[in-house]
Amino acid sequence: MTQTIGQPDRTALTFDQAYVKHWRNVTFGGELRRWARRWPGRTAVVDPGARLTFHQLDAQADLVAAGFARLGLARGDRVVVQLPNGADFVLAWFGLQRLGAVPVHAMPAHRRDEITHLAAASGARALVVADRQGRFDLRAMAEEVCADLRTRGLTEPMVVVVGEPGRHIGFTDLRAAGPPPQPVSPAQPVPGHRPTLRLVPVERADPDDPAGPAPGDLALLLISGGTTGRPKLIPRSHTDYDLNVRLGVRAAGMDESTVYLAVLPAGFNFTLACPGVLGALSVGGTVVMAPDPSPATAFDLIEAEGVTHTALTPALVPHWLDEARFRPQALATVRVVQVGGARLPDETARTAGPALGATIQQVYGMAEGLVCYTALDDPIELVTTTQGRPGCPDDELLVVRPGTTEPAQQGELLVRGPYTLRAYYNGPQPDSSFTADGFYRTGDEVRRLPGGHVVVVGRVKDQINRGGEKYAAVEVEEHLLQLPGVGAAAIVAVPDPDWGDAAVAVLVHDGPAPTVRALAAYLRGRGLAAYKAPQRVHLLPRMPLTAVGKVDKQALRALLTP
């Protein structure tokens, strides 16, 4: 039976009664309270400069929440968070959860253009950034973001800085009890502000946080890889995200003895909740935050902290294999290495387990919801050639001819389930990303084995997946079209042995081709993340078109792939 909940300012969301049994009446603020009561003295979070017990994490999250409240933030307010892996990420995240405010998960690689978009699309009232990233000054970037939003007449967020705040609000001051810090820009009402956005019908308060948000409320906004333009915002509620975490805990075999190393950005769905940071904390385990993704740093931390679980993208695996050749003993405590975010080549999957002395778990997930895992005791053949099975028995998977709902042996994967979104945040209605009956079109080309394992064979969406970092081709194409002399532009993914995809910029251009370096500099100047720069440039006298006049990417791919 399906039931529809009306949304005053959104299209109705439909959900299935069958899902209710999977959902718990919890919020992340209440969860942290319970964890702290159960394991007060255990180590929750470690980074090179901090070591917090569950009790300390809980108490400090209260201070952070109070600090945000003094700035004028309230339940339902969106806050763009762009922080490196560290205890401060966890503190900021739980502080916002306590308040019922909603973190919008930016990635560390994002730059002015992406952050401005995330702030605008979410109507963010604050931005939490680090002072700098290497030589790059994120405070200056935040100021440019604010100026841009101001010019467009949009909400100008307050800027909170972890590290040296400059003329902004210091995260350390925010946490200190005492008189309220002065916001640099006054808190402004946000047009269209909605205190609650019920995604799942769990309305009873969490008993451990009775004054907090409802479990069905919006808890966080993740970002989509993007297929048709800029990244879209993915609404996740406390309830559905809690389920996401629990399914991951079960699949990855986490328990009180778990020590999870966060190598990939903590704001990435995989790292945070599959089962990741939240999973480890939820069972009384410890989270170790790697300040950089290098194998050298990771191996040091593994040895020092006795890491049992971690998660990598396929692009990182060869580097770990190199390091493991020299320091195999460093990995003695590691039990499970999850790999996901892009297709892991079968051959790498085969060699990685023995070389790392750990069980490899393939994870095929998406910020939109569905996460598949190979089981820890799956036969090696399945672990090395498939991307696992869905985490929940009520995940409904359909394989269809792309763009249709006609069943196919191999085709586009559609999914519907108790932790998969039904609409993007403020998304268009109707939205071609969903079928009429609520299935999300993943844009991934898959086939399924008789036992239910999913094999990802390709992609029907026009997206580049550069070692797990994704972007819509059109996002870069739009910038390339603004270049003088460019008559037509296409970004085409071709196979790359190390990164999964290499992006080729195909240009119809008057005069000599711009170099890869020139394009990278140009896109950087436009405020784009570095991973969106193409790896090759290819000039053509004219762009091949399909019968309906679109750029024929298949023809281009055939032309570019020997």
Which residue's Cβ has the minimum distance to ligand J2J? 365
Work out whether 362 is an interface residue with ligand J2J (CB under 6 A).
yes
Work out whether 122 is an interface residue with ligand J2J (CB under 6 A).
no
Query: Which residue among 86, 213, 285, 340 contacts ligand J2J (CB under 6 A)?
Result: 340
Cβ-based nearer residue to ligand J2J, 155 or 362: 362
Work out whether 444 is an interface residue with ligand J2J (CB under 6 A).
yes
What distance in Å separates the CA atoms of residue 237 and residue 465, rounded to the nearest whole number? 27
Number of residues binding to ligand J2J, judged by CB under 6 A: 23
Cβ-based nearer residue to ligand J2J, 32 or 311: 311
Work out whether 125 is an interface residue with ligand J2J (CB under 6 A).
no
Q: Residue 408 carries which DSSP code?
A: -
Q: Which of 224, 226, 252, 228 is nearest to 421 (CA)?
A: 224
Of 503-532, which residues contact ligand J2J (CB under 6 A)? none
Q: Residue 136 CB, nearest distance to ligand J2J (Å)?
A: 23
Candidates 8-16, 301-309, 340-348, 491-499 — which segment interacts with ligand J2J by CB under 6 A?
Answer: 340-348
Candidates 200-208, 361-369, 394-402, 537-545 — which segment interacts with ligand J2J by CB under 6 A?
Answer: 361-369
Q: Residue 310 CB, nearest distance to ligand J2J (Å)?
A: 13
Of 457-496, which residues contact ligand J2J (CB under 6 A)? 459, 465, 468, 470
Work out whether 227 is an interface residue with ligand J2J (CB under 6 A).
no
Query: Which residue among 456, 490, 504, 523 contacts ligand J2J (CB under 6 A)?
Result: 456
Q: Residue 269 CB, nearest distance to ligand J2J (Å)?
A: 4
Cβ-based nearer residue to ligand J2J, 320 or 364: 364
What distance in Å separates the CA atoms of residue 129 and residue 171, rounded to the nearest whole number? 9
Query: Which residue among 105, 111, 343, 453 contacts ligand J2J (CB under 6 A)?
Result: 343
CA 482, 483, 485, 487 torsion-angle sign: negative
What distance in Å separates the CA atoms of residue 150 and residue 525, rounded to the nearest whole number? 20
What distance in Å separates the CA atoms of residue 423 and residue 417, rounded to the nearest whole number? 13
Q: Residue 25 carries which DSSP code?
A: S
What distance in Å separates the CA atoms of residue 260 and residue 270, rounded to the nearest whole number? 12
Quote the tokens at residue 431: 């939205």
Of 253-282, which residues contact ligand J2J (CB under 6 A)? 269-270, 274
Site string for ligand J2J, 414-443 (x = CB under 6 A): ----------------------------x-
Quote the tokens at residue 138: 């994120």
Cβ-based nearer residue to ligand J2J, 223 or 489: 223
DSSP 67-98: HHHHTT--TT-EEEEE--SSHHHHHHHHHHHH
What distance in Å separates the CA atoms of residue 18 and residue 34, rounded to the nearest whole number? 27
The dihedrals phi and psi of 259, each to the nearest 5 degrees, come to -125, 110
Give the 3-state DSSP-derived string for 459-470, with helices as H, strands as E and coil as C: ECCCEEEECCEE
Phi-psi region of 100 (alpha: psi -120 to 50; beta: other; left: phi over 0): left
Cβ-based nearer residue to ligand J2J, 95 or 340: 340
Cβ-based nearer residue to ligand J2J, 270 or 499: 270
Query: Which residue among 23, 93, 260, 364 contacts ligand J2J (CB under 6 A)?
Result: 364
Query: Which residue among 64, 174, 280, 367 contacts ligand J2J (CB under 6 A)?
Result: 367
Query: Which residue among 258, 374, 387, 433 contacts ligand J2J (CB under 6 A)?
Result: 387
Cβ-based nearer residue to ligand J2J, 60 or 313: 313
Give the 3-state DSSP-derived string for 130-177, with helices as H, strands as E and coil as C: ECEECCEEHHHHHHHHHHHHHHCCCCCCEEEEECCCCCCEEHHHHHCC
Work out whether 365 is an interface residue with ligand J2J (CB under 6 A).
yes
Cβ-based nearer residue to ligand J2J, 168 or 470: 470
Specify the long-range contacts of residues 48-54, CB closer than 8 Å, at least 24 apart: 48/291, 49/86, 49/87, 50/86, 50/87, 52/87, 52/90, 52/91, 54/281, 54/284
Residues that bind ligand J2J (CB under 6 A): 225, 269-270, 274, 340-343, 362-367, 371, 387, 442, 444, 456, 459, 465, 468, 470
